[in-house]
Amino acid sequence: MIITEKSNMSCYYWDITLGASNVDGRLVSNINRDSDRNIGYVSELIKLDLNGRDENEVIEELFDADSKYGDDLKYPTLGTWLMPNNPDDDDEEDTYNSNSYTNGLVRAVGLSIQQPEFYCPGFIKPIPIDMVQETAPW
């Protein structure tokens, strides 16, 4: 899940989210999924380092990358979604989850994202960048 953030010293305002989830065995992206908008279970918020880039341009690039994704990567089956591409399960080869999607989308626009401190299955296996971009935007 990617969240754009406006903050002051006392609160956060959540504007929009980009994420992906399982739909009939495929990793399907969507904007403002209910599970992303409900931040009551969020364990950790990671602020992206934009490396001096304009925030609005980065947001536009994230939307562009999201629009290029064809919703066609395999999602792990129930019980194995915690371990995309589990080496012990031949049926789970080349699978990705929502954490994979978020990491890949951020990388596709030329940014990096730190590894979450809490257990975040699939994060270390980002979706292939070529799935969300035709050519690098920078």
pLDDT top residue among 116 and 14: 116
**Strand ranges (E), the chain:** 2-7, 12-23, 26-31, 73-74
pTM for the structure as a whole: 0.77
81 or 115, which is more confident: 115
Distances (CA, A) of 93 to 19, 33, 80, 119: 22, 26, 11, 21
Residue pLDDT, tens place only, 27-65? 999 887 776 666 666 667 788 899 999 988 999 999 999
**Mean pLDDT of the region 81-98:** 63
More confident residue, 79 or 26: 26
Average pLDDT over residues 97-103: 91
What pLDDT, on the 0 to 100 scale, is given for residue 134? 64
Residue 138 has pLDDT above 50, yes or no: no
Structure confidence at residue 137 (pLDDT): 47
